[in-house]
Amino acid sequence: MRVLVTGASGTIGRAVCDALLTRGDEVFALSRSPEKAKQANPKVSWFSWNPALERPPSESLAGVDGVINLVGEPINQRWTDEAKKRILDSRQKATHNLVAAINHAEARPGVLVSQSAVGYYGDRGDAIVDEETGPGDTFDAKVVVAWEDAAREVDDSVRLALMRTGLVLDKDSGLLGELMLPFKLGVGGPVAGGRNYMPWISLDDEVGMLLWALDTPTAKGVYNTTAPEPVTNKVFSKTLGKALGRPAIMPVPKLAVKARLGAELGEVATGGQRALPKRALEGGYVFKHPDIESGIAAALA
């Protein structure tokens, strides 16, 4: 299979490319700095692309069977007006440009697997949400709506799977990467009371679900890319502390989170979604790490 991957230089993108290569697929990828990216992974065929400004080059889609779209600037930064524009453009405009290239390709790929995020739902407290739940009204929720709408512009001949990703557990990046040092020092603990739900997923299952959506002819529409057992921040903190052999009893007040991240992102970061992967389970995906203990263990291995 020949697969084009966007966002291939990120944590998830690198893992996806490695998994595709391991199983014998031919991998094309897009990067602002293809020469630099090639040094990191010479087995991938790299093409230059400025996502928010242009369509990918036509040769990057030549003979491609499927596309995995992981493009997007990190959202965990202070949400200034400039940052908000970059975050939105890196998803909406980039996906719009990618889809335009797919629609105009001489031979269209059969499937587009396009990442989005569980931020779509906004803060839902302890209410269970699945793929039928409507969107929230926070900035990140509106970004996801626009992001998914851009992906839906793809021609009807292309099967589309929209993957609403949760918090991917990786000890070197993302939320878990940020928590490693304080927890190792014994000063980690629950945030803002620890009652908010965390829709986590292991990196293994994140990659597994993306490839499952790529390979499964019936995988179409929206999927929550989250583990089947979401946990509260308090449970997550306790489990991480136990795995590291450190106490996890130092509470982090909400004001401290807002002081670090800014008021708007701080409010979102202390909320959460009790999101369930209902459609993936119904479709037959089998999780490698369904519970938080195995998920954290896999991330720390």
* Residue 96: per-residue pLDDT: 98
- CA-CA distance, 177 to 182, in Å (whole number)? 10
User: By C-alpha distance, which of 45, 18, 44, 47 is closest to 33?
Assistant: 47
DSSP 77-140: S---HHHHHHHHHTTHHHHHHHHHHHHTSSS--SEEEEEEEGGGG---TT-EE-TTSPP--SHH
Which two three-digit tokens encode residue 245? 């052999």
Q: How much is the pLDDT for 106?
A: 92
What's the Rg (C-alpha) of the chain?
19
Q: Is 220 a domain residue?
A: yes
Task: State the amino acid at position 288 in one-letter form.
Answer: K
Residues written for the chain: 301
Taking a C-beta distance cutoff of 8 angstroms, is the pair 208, 192 a contact?
no
Identify the pLDDT of residue 50: 95
Taking residue 20's Cβ as centre, other Cβ atoms within 10 Å add up to: 26
Domain that holds residue 62: 2-168+199-228+274-289
Take residue 217 and report the two structure tokens written for it: 């002819």
Q: How many domains does the chain divide into?
A: 1
pLDDT in tens, 226-284: 999 999 999 999 999 999 999 888 888 888 888 888 989 888 888 999 999 999 999 99
Interacting residues of 213 by C-beta distance below 8 A, sequence separation 6+: 111, 113, 161, 163, 219, 223
The verdict on residue 212 lying in a domain is: yes
Q: Are strands 2-6 and 26-31 parallel, antiparallel or unpaired?
A: parallel
The whole-angstrom separation of Cα 193 and Cα 201 is 22
The CATH number of residue 60's host domain is 3.40.50.720
66-69 and 26-31 as β-strands: parallel, antiparallel, unpaired?
unpaired
For the chain, what percent of residues have pLDDT higher than 90? 85
Q: Are 4 and 28 in contact (CB under 8 A)?
A: yes
Question: Residue 192 pLDDT > 90, yes or no?
Answer: no
Integer Cα distance of 132 and 114 in angstroms: 18
pTM confidence score: 0.95
Confidence band (pLDDT; 50, 70, 90) for 296? very high
Q: Which helix (H) or strand (E) holds 29?
A: strand 26-31
Identify whether 119 is part of a domain.
Answer: yes
- 194 in any annotated domain: no
- Write down the mean pLDDT value for the chain: 95
* pLDDT over 90 (residue 219): yes
Q: Stretch 138-158: mean pLDDT, rounded?
A: 97
Cβ(117)–Cβ(144) under 8 Å? Answer: yes
Position 124 scores a pLDDT of 94
280 in a structural domain: yes
Q: How far is CA 4 from CA 60, 70, 135, 172, in A?
A: 7, 11, 29, 25
Decide if 17 is inside a domain. yes
What is the pLDDT at residue 268?
A: 86
15-53 per-position pLDDT tens digit: 999 999 999 999 999 999 999 999 989 999 999 999 999
pLDDT at 261: 84
Give a yes or no: residue 76 inside a domain.
yes
Confirm whether 248 is domain-assigned.
no
> What is the arithmetic mean of pLDDT over 92-107?
97
The pLDDT score that the predictor gives to residue 3 is 98
Q: Of 174, 199, 187, give the one whose Cα is nearest residue 241.
A: 187
pLDDT in tens, 46-61: 999 999 999 999 999 9
